């Protein structure tokens, strides 16, 4: 997973642009975590817990996007995909929507991303 961090010098907002197939990870960092140190620490705690309890599923639920850690895999996905009650998506359009709304990576890569994001947003 490739990514690039940016900061808008006019409004002070932080941005994360991720490679194709991982766009949702950048959106999650921007929208759910931002530069909030407490949120970043909470995510790192969930990662550490997941590494200790490898056989369990660990979730970090956000308002619109959630992170699920299972074993050494991290899934970041739009909460709409977690809900089977949403029947508004056309079945033909769903694969495109899902590809933009779900991304997977390894737990070590994800932890590295979070730690680099923490460093970037603290400067």
State the pTM of this model.
0.85
Give dist(CA 110, CA 41) in Å, integer: 14
pLDDT digits (tens, 9 = 90+) for 82-118: 665 445 555 555 554 455 789 999 999 999 999 999 9
pLDDT of residue 80: 87
Q: Which of 64, 78, 60 is nearest to 114 (CA)?
A: 60
pLDDT of residue 85: 47
Opening angle at CA 29, ends 86 and 52, nearest 5: 90
**Domain ranges, ordered by start, for the chain:** 3-121
Give dist(CA 96, CA 33) in Å, integer: 25
pLDDT of residue 91: 53
pLDDT of residue 113: 98
pLDDT digits (tens, 9 = 90+) for 6-33: 999 999 999 999 999 999 999 999 999 9
């Amino acid at each position: 997973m490739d990514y690039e961090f940016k900061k808008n010098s006019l409004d002070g907002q932080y941005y994360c642009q991720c490679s194709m197939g991982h766009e949702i990870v950048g959106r999650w960092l921007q929208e759910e975590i931002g530069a909030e140190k407490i949120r970043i620490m909470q995510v790192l705690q969930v990662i550490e817990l997941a590494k200790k309890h490898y056989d369990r599923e660990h979730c970090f639920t956000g308002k619109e996007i959630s992170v699920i850690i299972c074993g050494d895999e991290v899934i970041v996905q739009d909460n709409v995909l977690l809900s089977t009650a949403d029947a508004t998506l056309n079945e033909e359009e769903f694969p495109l929507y899902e590809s933009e709304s779900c991304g997977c990576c390894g737990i070590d890569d994800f932890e590295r991303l979070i730690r680099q994001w923490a460093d970037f947003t603290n400067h």
